[in-house]
Every structure is written in C-alpha cells, then in structure tokens.
Amino acid sequence: MARKQVSKRYERHKDSPVPKGRLLAIGGSEDKGNSELSDEQKQNSGFIKEEILKRFVDELKGDNPTVLVVPTASGEPEESAKDYIKVFSDLGVKKIEILDIRTRQDALNPEGCEMVERASGIMFTGGDQLRLTSILGGTAVLQLMKERYTYDNIIIAGTSAGAAAMSTPMIYEGDTEGGYIKGDVRITTGLEFMRDVAIDTHFIARGRIVRMSQAIATNPGCIGIGLEEDTAILVTEGKEMEVIGSGLITVVDGSNISHTNIYEIKTGETFTVRDLKVHLLSNGQRYTLPIYDQLHI
C-alpha cells in the first residue's frame, strides 16, 4: 500500500511530536451571551458571560485572524453556523468562514483544505459525533487539520459532539440511562486530536459518570474527561490542561484499577470496577494528562 502524501511541513518537523496548537473542548451549552442564565450559572458567583468563547477568541494568533466554523455534526448546519457567526462577530472577529461539509463527497472538495490553511482557529459545532467522524474520517481535510494542530500555532475548538469527537476512543452512544450494562456503551475511533483520552460532554447534567467508568474499565490506559455544560478544557502541548467555565470537569483515571469483571461477564450484565481514581476540577485548575508524547497526525 502506498504511503499517504504529506506536506513539506511534515517533512520539516517529523521529529517534533509535541503539538504547537491548542485544543478547546467544551461540554456543550456554553454561554453565548444571548439567552437567560441557567440556575447553576445564577448561583455561581464566579460566572463570567461568554467566558469560554472569549477565551477562544483571545487565543487566536495573527492580525485580523480567520475563524473557520465546521457545522458538520449538526442536523441543521446553517442554523448552527449562524449562532457562531453572530457570537464571534460580537466578540470582534471580522473574518469568519463556514466549512460546509455535509457528505463524504463534500469533504473531497479541495477548497476545504484551502480554508483550513487560512484559519487561525477552527470551531466544531455540536450535533452527532458519529456524523462528524464518518464524514471527515480519513479525508485530506481532516489530515490537514491534525497536521496544522501539530505544527502550527492554531486553536481548534469543539462543543458537545464537536468536543466528544476530538478524542480517541470516542463514546458515541449509550443504550441505558446510566450505562451500567456491559455492551451499552458504544465506542469508536474519534478525530484523534487526542489519543488515549475519552471525552464525554453534558457530563453531570446527564449523569454520565457510569458510562465513562465502563469505557475506562475496558481500557484502563485511557483517561476519561467528563465536561460539564458551560465548562471546557484548554489543552496545550498535547497534555497540559486548564479548566475554564462555570461548572466542573471530571477526570476518571483507571491506571490503578485493582479489579474489574468487564471481561468475564456476558453482554447485558452489570459490571464491577474497583479503585478508579476520580478528580473534580473547577475553573482555573490545571492538570497534566498522564499520557505519552506522540505524533498527532
């Protein structure tokens, strides 16, 4: 099989595995400054309107930077794109483009790669993470995004499904409300901006700690990151994590699991796992992901 074509950027820097770009993974329902505050936001004395999206804009580099909105995950991409055009315009961004990829055929259009090359920041909207990975997976436009994340000073953000798709493994479905039955949690390969990390969103609001625990029990070498709504992580150097927003981040570490029966029980039975380590982190907290350095393309 022939090797994939790669650009001169890769050939110049193929010995540099630490990404120069930054990732902003958002748990969904981030404040856009255009709706009533939730009860949780009202009760949080440290709440800052549009805090997460302001941080995205602050992280953009260059004069008059371009933001590229990718609404591929959404079933209503035009509406999703409009929301971000408005909020980014209100935050002072003058150049906003829409990468309107809805099918595999759309993803083959070379104009998509040209738009990715122009971008100082990329924003994946919410929707369905399986739609996002099945349309973009293995395409030149995704390869270029990962290449730019590795070697260029760019910020790549995703909210809800757009955040869940950033990692590998990627959780995309759960049959039961809690995810406590073996086989209920569906996992596939994500966009692979982060490896050996599983990201789940709307984490506390939708009670997803058990389904994340099942995902980590099946592969304790992964770290689980649960993102609550209006809460995000900013990841630099591929593993240095800062919490932003009004809620909590849940970190599920399975490296010291002492026992699990996940490999012994049958599909449809409840699972056991002991000695999971869980961290709850609030705004401003930092955490180093215990993962190995690796090439991110």
Query: In terms of residue numbers, what domain contains 132?
Result: 21-32+49-280
User: How much is the pLDDT for 196?
Assistant: 95
Domain-embedded: residue 205:
yes
Give the model's pLDDT for residue 5: 52
The answer to whether the beta carbons of residues 74 and 101 sit under 8 Å apart is: no
Given this model, what pLDDT does residue 2 score?
36
CATH number reported for the structural domain that contains residue 149 in this entry: 3.40.50.880
CA 108 to chain centre: 23
Active site members = 160, 202, 229
The answer as to whether 16 is a domain residue is: no
Q: Is residue 291 part of a domain?
A: no
Does 38 reside within a domain? Answer: no
CA distance 138 to 197: 20
Question: 41 lies in a domain?
Answer: no
| Positions of E strands within 95-239 | 95-98, 121-124, 155-159, 167-168, 170-174, 185-188, 194-195, 197-200, 223-227, 231-236
pLDDT at 34: 74
Domain assignment present for residue 9? The answer is no
pLDDT tens by residue, 149-191: 999 999 999 999 999 999 999 999 876 567 899 999 999 999 9
Structural domain includes residue 235 = yes
DSSP E strands in the chain: the ranges are 22-26, 66-70, 95-98, 121-124, 155-159, 167-168, 170-174, 185-188, 194-195, 197-200, 223-227, 231-236, 240-245, 249-253, 259-260, 273-274, 277-281, 286-288
Domain count across the chain: 1
| Full-model pTM | 0.91
Residue 35 confidence class, pLDDT cut points 50, 70, 90: low
Residue 249 lies in a domain: yes
Query: Could you tell me how many residues make up the chain?
Result: 297
pLDDT digits (tens, 9 = 90+) for 112-141: 999 999 999 999 999 999 999 999 999 999
